[in-house]
Amino acid sequence: MLPKLREWRRTRYPLAQDDKVLCAWNALMIEALCEMYRASGEKAYLAAAKRAQAFLDANLREGTQLYLSFRAGKRGVRAQLSDYAAEISALLALWGASLEPGYLDLAEALADKAVNAFFDGETGGFFLYDRKSEALILRPKESGDGALPGGNALMTRALIALQALRPSEARERVLDKQIGWQAGHARLDPMGHAAFLAALSDRLEEPPRVTAAVANCADRAQLPFLIPPEIPLIVVDPPTAEFPLVEGKTAYYVCRGKTCLPPVTELR
């Protein structure tokens, strides 16, 4: 039956296909692939994540300017908030999985661009589109989630994660205003702001932060599997006077806020 149906369908006008490559959706997939790599150790997941990111770099990014989509050799319009938020999170996930500092550097650069282009410095919240996009009657700020987590929730989560790795006084001020704005909306509709509330929990109950002073390449390669993805990981390689080795071994400094435990050479 199915072969006959397939042949009959081929005689009809072919259906149009939506074969655009979307920045935000690929970024979400990159983050998922990185988590799968860290959970399983399967190198194919990390390789796929890196290939996808390389495609975004080549076709959907020009400097710190992202684009919404790519199809048939052409970029779409300028990226929206969710594209930047998802891509920053993807780059942070790639840093955690590969420990290649270029990913972390790019995540910080895109975060700074997003704040400058989308953030409402007066009342808080990120606008849907940036200052240079085509102006509409209104410039909306969407606080809640839809079928996917909302752009403001994704950006809040990304900035909280980045702030744990690369602290910035300016970013801290943005986060304070952003959380205040979004919390006001979440108070009225908690169920519609689940992604923001999940990010807020990391802000209010800050997870421990691990700084690893690395003694050798083998220990460095094991870090993505020793430290869960939700724990901020800072790598000091080579070791410094502030974060030295312990008896010639890789040392782990576990801190929460401004309080740190004595360094250890094993993590359990």
Q: Which amino acid is at 36?
A: M
d(CA 10, CA 221): 51
- Please tell me the distance from the alpha carbon of residue 19 to that of residue 186, in angstroms, as a whole number: 35
Residues whose CB falls within 8 Å of the CB of residue 229, separated by 6 or more in sequence, listed in order = 34, 35, 38, 93, 96
Per-residue model confidence (pLDDT) at position 100: 96
DSSP H or E stretch at residue 253? strand 251-256
CATH 1.50.10.20 at 21-204, yes or no:
yes
Q: Which two tokens stand for residue 136?
A: 């509409």
| Percent residues over pLDDT 90 in the chain | 79
**CA-wise closest residue to 82 among 162, 148, 171:** 148
Q: How far apart are CA 210 and CA 219, in angstroms?
A: 14
Separation CA 20–CA 238 (nearest Å)? 43
**What pLDDT is recorded for position 235?**
95
**pLDDT-based confidence at 134, cuts 50/70/90?**
confident
| Predicted model pTM | 0.91
Distances (CA, A) of 264 to 46, 80, 83, 211, 268: 29, 44, 39, 11, 10
Direct distance between the N- and C-terminal alpha carbons of the chain, in angstroms, rounded to an integer: 58
What band does 267 get if pLDDT is binned at 50, 70 and 90? confident
- Reported as a single tens digit per residue, the pLDDT across 153-187 is 999 999 999 999 999 999 999 999 999 999 999 99
Token output for 209: 């932060």
Stretch 195-199: mean pLDDT: 94
Q: Residue 8 has what DSSP assignment?
A: H
Euclidean distance between CA atoms 253 and 88, whole angstroms: 26
Distance of CA 89 to the CA centre of its chain: 0
What pLDDT score does 86 carry? 98
pLDDT at 4: 85
Confidence of residue 2 (pLDDT cuts 50, 70, 90): confident
The per-residue pLDDT for 140 is 85
Please tell me the predicted confidence (pLDDT) of residue 19.
Answer: 81
What gap in Å lies between CA 20 and CA 152, rounded to an integer?
A: 24
Residue 228: CB partners within 8 Å, gap ≥ 6? Answer: 38
pLDDT 10s digits, 35-86: 999 999 999 999 999 999 999 999 999 999 999 999 989 999 999 999 999 9
Pairing relation of β-strands 233-236 and 209-213?
A: parallel
Name the band, by pLDDT with cuts 50, 70 and 90, for residue 211. Answer: very high
